[in-house]
Amino acid sequence: MATETKRDLVKEGEQDYQEWRAGLVATPEKRALYEQIVAKSDLWLQLVEARQAAGLTQRELAKRLGVSQAQVARIERRGYDAYTLNTLRRYVKALGDTFELRVTIENTAKERASAV
């Protein structure tokens, strides 16, 4: 009777995931697109976390902004990307005095070198 080797499906799945993930940023174009998508994803989550840290519900924040709760939900919706700077400023100001909006621009070494 031949001995069978047992497959480690978890390990195989993990390896497949790592290969897929590496492929997301395999070229500069793919990396730029990936980073753009991540930045959009991060913004809605940061807004939700900031509101929660301020101890506010969507309804309470909406009242401070003078808009409906549905509008706050839309701003906080994953994938929403129609933010205006004015909307973000008002949202952050409505959170309270301890919150501020910061914009950070990060350039890759390649971008910095080509700008010189």
pTM above 0.75, yes or no: no
Radius of gyration of the chain (CA): 21
Decide: 76 and 51 in contact? Cβ < 8 Å: yes
Per residue in 19-48, pLDDT (tens digit) is: 888 887 788 888 888 777 766 667 888 899
pLDDT digits (tens, 9 = 90+) for 73-99: 999 998 788 888 899 889 999 998 777
Tell me if 79 sits within 8 A of 43, measured CB to CB: no
Domains of the chain: 28-115 (1.10.260.40)
